[in-house]
Structure 1
Amino acid sequence: MIDVCPLPHRDGRLKPRHVQALLYSNVARQITAFQPGLHYDMRVLKGLQVPRFDSHDLLAAWMHVDAVLAPWLALHKMSRLKLLFSCLPHLKHVVAIHAAITGNVPLLKHLHSQLNVLMVTPYYVVDFAAWSGHFDALVFLLSIRHRGMSAHALSQAARHGYVQIVQFLLRHLHSRSPTAVVAAASNGHLNIVELLCPDYQDTIDDEAMDVAAAGGHLDVVKWLYNRGSRSWRALSAAAKHGHTHVMEYLLGTSHKNWGPVSMDNAASMNYLDVLRCLQNHPHVASQHRAIDAAATNGHFEAVRLLHDMKLAKASVKAMDDAASRGWLNIVAFLHEHNAAGCTLAAMDNAAAHGHLDVVKYLHKHRNEGCSTDAMDWAATRGHLDMVQFLHKHRHEGCTTDALDGAASRGHLDVVKYLHAHRSEGFTDVAIDRASLNNHPEVVEFLVTCGRGRVTSSCAIDAAVAHGNDHLVDILLTHGHHPSVNALESCAWCNDVEMFEKIYPLVEPSHARANAALEIVAYAASAGHLTLLQSAMRLGCVTTPPDLALVGAAKHGHLEVVKVLAPLYHHRPMAALDEAATCGHADVVKYLDHVAFPCTCRAMDGAATNGHLHLLKWLAAHRQEGWTTDAFDGACRNGHLNVVQWLYPQRQIDISPDALTWAVDANCLKLVEWLTLTGRTHFNVLNAMSCAAANGSLPILAHLVEVYSTWSEMDGMAVIAAAGGHLDMVKWILSNSNRRKSIEEAMKAAKHAQRPIVVSYLHTISSAETLDDQAVDDDEAEDGDEDIVDVHSDTSDGGALLEQAMELADDSSSDDGIESEYEEE
């Protein structure tokens, strides 16, 4: 019984007892607990999942989650988190990661002390805090001995320049990652490179120099060079990204073994300073067709510079491409200074793209000419001025493709000009495509020109499809006759008036009769009762096809079902099956009332789509029963309530694939229920593979815990790496034969082009020791030792330790959390 405190009216009188009961704070929650579905404010969160991280830009990957979750948290604070996690359990992992990424320490404390979320999530939350640069969140998570940290933490902190975090990880957690040097160098964080390099004096390879040069970070390049790095690729990397200052430094050193630099790339990117640098150091330049590359991309200054350098050559491609793109200055320069010339493709493509000034120049100064493609494409693309120029000044002419193309794209002015000045004419394609593309004014002009006997119905069929009654009348006047396609268009548009108008005109008669049967089936499925009756009347249909009734039942059109059902001498079983599958209870009950039969597919379909109320009704009123497809289908779609109802009935055995279907539905509650009730029935390896492929880390962790299938983890790592599921890979590698798993996972990630996974695998594979990626097990089990190993001779170690333990003490306090997120 609920104890209700009396609530007075404004005038001081007590409200009635039933009103007082409804105003009690927990009554609404108790009532809604018995209702299916979600609370209204939580619906927007239902689809949130941990995203796939495909780049080093963490915030970009998380922005879609943040856009939905952050406003909800700002509105409700932490008051509804417990209820949220009970309704949508998978969101506890999302919220935990969100708190780490946003550095929300009060939220992290609440998740740990009040909801016990942090210690059960398998995600690497510490890595996310380091990746996003939130030092306080990182220290708090480590102070509660969270195991979600890997070598990725140091690597990402170094990449993004979080010096405080790098110092902390290096000094107090003995975290090591040789690739962190490369990550820091790639973004020019010299202070972090200096911090990291003393630990890797023997492991610095040329990759750090390469990425620093590619990023234009001269100070890092100098520092690495002075420490002995001599990567021959560094010069090419700097040139590729236009960093001339880095090139000049490297070429000015005593080292001479620098790799070749592509002049073609510099020309295509218009890196003039790079080209000048290469001019001064021709021994490192490598080029194939640098002038072609510059001309193709419209870089006039680069073309001129390359010509003056005498190092690069050109081909006909240079002028052809420049003309095609309308760069007249380049065309003129190449004509005057380069002997390679061009082909007729130059004028053809210039005309096709409407570059009249280029065409005029080529016409005046070059002898290659053009082909009929020039006018054909100019007309097709609507360049009237180009068509006029080519007609007056060139002799190549055009083909029927010119007028056909102009008509198909609706260029009426070009159509009229070609009709008046050219003799090539047009084909049926012109009218047909103009009508298909809904250019009625072009169609009207062309049909009035007259072309004799009409052989195609495409034009009038298209006019009917567009609902242009006026154009249909014009085409009918000029001898166009519709086909069955026009009747189908009327059906799609539910245009009964047009359907009745053109039906008698369709030939041959047997074709329109067959079309009437198809339209009856479609109209019934779509619920168009008037169209259905018209098609049956005009087509003399007395017994509709089975598809008509089945379609109407499937889509829940009860009125149509009532019209059609009495017309069948036989009774199609599929009608009731489809109605039950789609959850149309009123149709199911009507068909049952008029004695229509069904099969076990009725209950199988209802179970698959989660229609529990209908499933119960069928069990009570029908005898057909169900098969294993019912249980499998319910699992496949994550309908836990249906599975729980079916299981006690015991009419069939549980399918060994049921667990796999539940995993594929990403329904952790259903997976937990299945492993509890039918643990020995399932194909566990398939289920684990499915979880790894989908990135369902909580589900995989649960399956491993229940079935202790550690021996299969190597294969799971490969599957997860191919899918790009970063935290899944981390978790698997922390519980498997790491060296073997890393090698196979690396191959899979590279083949599937998963750069962030490849980066992580490279990080841990290059480490000096392949240790666990979280806090050491011995330290975690020793309650008397702090995981933060602070050396007494460090100047700031005591402060860091004090901060970490202070945060830990706050997290275990019983006084709650004072912040803007304080629970209401």
Structure 2
Amino acid sequence: MTTPPPLSSISLAIPEQLQALPHTLDLINTFLMPKTIDAAVYNDLHRVVGAYGEFRLWTVGAMDGAAARGRLDLLRWLRTNRTEGCSTEAFTGAAANDHLNTLMWLCFFYPYLFDLERDLTTAARHGQARIVDFLKGDVLIAGEVEPAMEAAAANGYVDVVEILLTEPFVQNLTRPLLAAVRNGQIAVVQFLCDKSLERLYWMDSDQAFNVALEEGYTNIAAVMIRKCHLNSVKLALESAASRGYTDIVMMILDRYMLDEYEFAPALEKAALNGDCDMIELLLENCALPIDTPAEREHIFSTTVEACLGAAVKANRVDVVQLIVKKLGPD
């Protein structure tokens, strides 16, 4: 036989009127016929392989698919009976699906296709702690483990992050922390702050706090306030006030002592937003009046104007009265 047998389902699905047209069944059969036999091989479709195996291409996809399914028996058969071999997808498929024995077998027979950083990162991204624990023993430089740490953090796999933290090469936790924050992975953020605070750079807490507010994860911003030291409290207060996050502003004010001038940027943002409740909250916690009229004018002239304008526009007499009270008798 020089051509494969037709797909039996076609004649059952096509109306008789269409079947009468020349070459209709052949054209549909050719269109629907897979280009390779790979899927039939790794899905154990023995009858399909028997009927179409000699007419369809055998490629590395057969072994790649078998590896992704942990079919070590099929991998051994393919290596013995076929010559196509596998691709790097066999390694990533085994790593992503927690097939440790399969991965070890691939590393033994196809070591030239193994890439530590790629396969470690793949396992970490899918939360495969057993694979990560096996592969991390080959880590020699920080660059091989940092992408895996970032992937695990972004997907919320605390157990994988913990395994990778045992590596002495891991020192810079900026990228894993920010990846966890951007993806709302509060458990990872808490873990990094609890277990590895000494490995977070001084600017990491500020950056993570701002990213959390940008993404709307106020629960993570609260964690950063409780567990880390914010180096630029003025900017943190401004960022929270500009977004109307009252709870976060209150947490900052409860934890940190701010000078009068540090309230100005936050007050200006609240005024621009017409957020009189935020203006009121900030003013109630601001240690005014300032001692001298000159100092008050230097620091607060623009801010006060903005706050008064917002309060008047919103008909908030209480806020206007509070502003006047805070400014003092001068």
| TM-score with structure 2 setting the length | 0.66
Which residue of 2 is the match for residue 370 of structure 1? 58
1: distance between equivalents of 2:74 and 2:51? 13
One-letter code aligned to 2:25:
A
* Structure 1 residue 486 displacement after superposition: 1.9
2: distance between equivalents of 1:444 and 1:602? 61
Write out the 4+ residue segments of structure 1 that deviate beyond 6 Å after TM superposition. none
Q: Does 1:432 align with 2:121?
A: yes
CA contact (8 A) 2:88 2:114 kept: yes
Which residue of 2 is the match for residue 513 of structure 1? 202
CA contact (8 A) 1:551 1:575 kept: no
Which residue of 2 is the match for residue 546 of structure 1? 235
2: distance between equivalents of 1:617 and 1:559? 21
* Structure 1 residue 433 displacement after superposition: 1.4
CA contact (8 A) 1:488 1:519 kept: yes
* Structure 1 residue 377 displacement after superposition: 3.5
CA contact (8 A) 1:520 1:535 kept: no
Q: Does 1:400 align with 2:88?
A: yes
Which residue of 2 is the match for residue 291 of structure 1? 26
* Structure 1 residue 403 displacement after superposition: 0.9
* Structure 1 residue 394 displacement after superposition: 0.7
* Structure 1 residue 485 displacement after superposition: 1.9
* Structure 1 residue 460 displacement after superposition: 2.1
Q: Does 1:599 align with 2:300?
A: no
Which residue of 2 is the match for residue 358 of structure 1? 48
Aligned residue runs from structure 1 range 597-676, under 5 A:
597=304, 599=306, 603=310, 615-617=314-316, 621=320
Specify which of 120, 127, 148 is matched with residue 459 of structure 1: 148
1: distance between equivalents of 2:245 and 2:80? 62
* Structure 1 residue 397 displacement after superposition: 0.8
Which residue of 1 is the match for residue 12 of structure 2? 270
2: distance between equivalents of 1:598 and 1:565? 25
Which residue of 1 is the match for residue 279 of structure 2? 588
* Structure 1 residue 431 displacement after superposition: 0.9
CA contact (8 A) 2:98 2:123 kept: yes
- Is the radius of gyration larger for structure 1 or structure 2? 1
1: distance between equivalents of 2:113 and 2:18? 57
Residues 239-283 of structure 1 show CA distances to partners (whole Å, capped at 9, x for unaligned) of: xxxxxxxxxxxxxxxxxxxxxxxxxxxx868346x31x567xx5x
SS in structure 2 at match of 1:616? coil
CA contact (8 A) 2:280 2:322 kept: no
* Structure 1 residue 488 displacement after superposition: 2.5
- Share of identical aligned residues, percent? 18
One-letter code aligned to 2:258:
P
2: distance between equivalents of 1:483 and 1:443? 18
1: distance between equivalents of 2:308 and 2:41? 63
Distance 1:402 1:278, change over 3 A: closer
Specify which of 347, 355, 375 is matched with residue 37 of structure 2: 347
2: distance between equivalents of 1:353 and 1:601? 72
Distance 1:417 1:497, change over 3 A: closer
One-letter code aligned to 1:617:
R
* Structure 1 residue 533 displacement after superposition: 5.2
* Structure 1 residue 352 displacement after superposition: 5.9
Specify which of 510, 516, 535 is matched with residue 228 of structure 2: 535
* Structure 1 residue 459 displacement after superposition: 1.5
Gaps of 5+ in 1: 1-266, 296-314, 322-344, 507-511, 608-614, 625-824
More helix by share: 2
Distance 1:567 1:436, change over 3 A: farther
1: distance between equivalents of 2:310 and 2:119? 54
Aligned residue runs from structure 1 range 199-598, under 5 A:
270-271=12-13, 274-275=15-16, 285=21, 289-293=24-28, 295=29, 315=30, 317=31, 320-321=33-34, 345-351=35-41, 355-359=45-49, 362-363=52-53, 366=54, 369-427=57-115, 428-448=117-137, 450=138, 452-456=140-144, 457-465=146-154, 468=157, 470-481=159-170, 482-489=172-179, 492=184, 493=186, 495-496=189-190, 498-505=192-199, 512-521=201-210, 526=218, 528-529=221-222, 531-532=224-225, 534-536=227-229, 541=231, 543-552=232-241, 554-557=244-247, 558-563=249-254, 566-567=258-259, 569-570=261-262, 571-572=264-265, 573-577=267-271, 580-581=274-275, 585=277, 587-593=278-284, 594=286, 597=304
One-letter code aligned to 1:599:
A
* Structure 1 residue 439 displacement after superposition: 1.4
1: distance between equivalents of 2:274 and 2:95? 51
One-letter code aligned to 2:128:
H
Distance 1:385 1:579, change over 3 A: farther
Distance 1:600 1:386, change over 3 A: farther
2: distance between equivalents of 1:479 and 1:357? 53
Residues 437-458 of structure 1 show CA distances to partners (whole Å, capped at 9, x for unaligned) of: 111122122224x254452302
Name the Cα RMSD after superposition: 4.2
2: distance between equivalents of 1:424 and 1:467? 32
Distance 1:414 1:590, change over 3 A: same
CA contact (8 A) 2:280 2:319 kept: no
Distance 1:385 1:574, change over 3 A: farther
* Structure 1 residue 522 displacement after superposition: 5.1
CA contact (8 A) 2:133 2:163 kept: yes
Residues 584-620 of structure 1 show CA distances to partners (whole Å, capped at 9, x for unaligned) of: 73x331223436647389849x99xxxxxxx332687
* Structure 1 residue 519 displacement after superposition: 2.6
Residues 799-820 of structure 1 show CA distances to partners (whole Å, capped at 9, x for unaligned) of: xxxxxxxxxxxxxxxxxxxxxx
CA contact (8 A) 2:268 2:307 kept: no
CA contact (8 A) 2:68 2:90 kept: yes
Residues 107-163 of structure 1 show CA distances to partners (whole Å, capped at 9, x for unaligned) of: xxxxxxxxxxxxxxxxxxxxxxxxxxxxxxxxxxxxxxxxxxxxxxxxxxxxxxxxx
CA contact (8 A) 1:549 1:561 kept: no
| TM-score with structure 1 setting the length | 0.30
* Structure 1 residue 419 displacement after superposition: 3.4
CA contact (8 A) 2:11 2:25 kept: no
SS in structure 2 at match of 1:438? coil
Residues 560-579 of structure 1 show CA distances to partners (whole Å, capped at 9, x for unaligned) of: 25245724634114442377
1: distance between equivalents of 2:60 and 2:169? 32
* Structure 1 residue 535 displacement after superposition: 3.0
CA contact (8 A) 2:125 2:151 kept: yes
CA contact (8 A) 2:92 2:119 kept: yes
* Structure 1 residue 622 displacement after superposition: 7.7
